Amino acid sequence: MAVKIKTQYGDIDITNNVIATVVGGAATDIYGIVGMASKNQIRDNLNEILNRENYNRGVVVRQEENGVAIDVYIICGYGIKISEVCRNVQSKVKYNLETMLGVSANSVNVYVQGIRVLED
């Protein structure tokens, strides 16, 4: 499924992969985030950090009537306040979706899939 936006010049279709890439890029820019994790680690047989090409495995996008709902699966750094990192992810994802794509996020749910020691 895709987000459809009607303008005076025509229609714009934004796919879920584009939304997932924007969300993953916003999330990994936050201090304290080691990387993105797969939402189905057992099925995907991935217990590692996802690279930029695979952000759609760590983000779930659901269309709602007046926006989208986003689920983000992340790996945090050890010793970081997880609740603050998750709040920062929520606000940055919401901001980037609205400014870059013109899509409003009704909810941004953050799931911490693991903790890794940050390297100096």
Provide the residue range defining the domain that includes 64.
15-114
Residue 41 within any structural domain of the chain: yes
The closest alpha carbon to 75, from 24, 120, 20, belongs to 24
- The pLDDT score that the predictor gives to residue 70 is 93
Query: What is the pLDDT, as a whole number, of residue 45?
Result: 54
pLDDT of amino acid 1: 61
Query: What is the pLDDT at residue 38?
Result: 80
**Structural domain total, the chain:** 1
Q: Looking at the domain assignment, is residue 73 inside a domain?
A: yes
Strands 33-36 and 67-77: antiparallel
CATH of the domain at 79: 3.30.70.1350
Task: Tell whether 101 is covered by a domain.
Answer: yes
β-pair partners for 33: 76
Q: What is the pLDDT of residue 5?
A: 81
Please identify every stretch of the chain with a pLDDT value under 50, giving residue numbers as ranges: none
The pLDDT score that the predictor gives to residue 36 is 87
68-78, pLDDT tens digit by residue? 999 999 989 89
